[in-house]
Amino acid sequence: MTMPQQAFVFDMDGTIVDNMAFHTDSWLAFFARRGVTLDADEFFRATAGRQGGEIMRAYLGEHLGDEEVGLLNHEKESVYRELYAPHRKTVAGFDALVTRARLEGVKLAVATAAPPANIEFTLDGLDLRKHFDAVVGAADVARSKPHPDVFLKAAERCGVQPEHCIVFEDAPLGVEAARRAGMRCVVLITTLPRDAFTDFDNVIAIVRDFSELKTELLFG
């Protein structure tokens, strides 16, 4: 019997690269300039996986127009890229995993809330785009995580049914988006502890990095 086509769908920030602390630092600096003080952990839990414009309006006001949000996003993301550029690298075990997946015939996709400039900064800056059959970002979907849109779009572009996709995530909103998409999920605890994910019934593994994954779980 022929096995159905399988896909691995990767969140990018905090999953392919361990950069969420730099994102959080850049957000905190951005808001501090405007007199808004935030708790780093609470901010991450509330916003990881959401698009920049949604975060801007949630903390600075729904009245912000698209042009103003675009300018503010540019400012914040420029700070992030400046902070993270000297530290840019993949999470341990990622390169070996995607190499094995290619050999096994597994489709590969990125599904991220990042804007195009940050996708280019990470995927092209690390020469990773060549690995992926599809890259879906904030500009490709109307709704961000926890809505399932970005994962469903990635599965569609790979030609794989959602139930045959495994998502790799680091944030509760992303795991919830995978659940709503009908996808199983591997969690990387690059930013939050294990107990932040214990209530999700679609989680099949919780690991510190890709090198801890049991291959039979993914390729069996």
The predicted-structure confidence for 123-158, as pLDDT tens digits, reads as follows 999 999 999 999 999 899 999 999 999 999 999 999
Do residue 121 and residue 197 come from a single domain? yes
Query: From the candidates 11, 13, 18, 149, which is the catalytic residue?
Result: 11
Whether 220 shows a pLDDT value over 80: the answer reads no
Do residue 170 and residue 154 come from a single domain? yes
Give the residue with greater pLDDT, 189 vs 48.
189
Task: State percent of the chain over pLDDT 90.
Answer: 84
Q: Count up the domains in the chain and report the number.
A: 2
Do residue 152 and residue 211 come from a single domain? yes
Segment among 8-12, 69-73, 184-188 with least mean pLDDT: 69-73
Separation CA 3–CA 93 (nearest Å): 26
50 band by pLDDT with thresholds 50, 70 and 90: confident
Q: Measuring CA to CA, which residue among 140, 114, 146 is closest to residue 45?
A: 146
Average pLDDT for 25-52: 89
**Domain limit, last residue, from 86, 110, 132:** 86
For position 93, which CATH number holds? 3.40.50.1000
Q: Is 41 a catalytic residue?
A: no
Cα angle, residue 23 at apex, residues 150 and 52 outer, rounded to 5°: 45
> Mean pLDDT, the chain, as a whole number?
94
The predicted-structure confidence for 27-39, as pLDDT tens digits, reads as follows 999 999 999 999 9
Whether 1 shows a pLDDT value over 70: the answer reads no
Give the residue with greater pLDDT, 45 vs 209.
209
Do residue 124 and residue 161 come from a single domain? yes
The predicted-structure confidence for 81-93, as pLDDT tens digits, reads as follows 999 999 999 999 9
Average pLDDT for 50-54: 88
Do residue 74 and residue 109 come from a single domain? no
108 belongs to a structural domain: yes
> What range does the domain containing 145 cover?
7-19+88-219
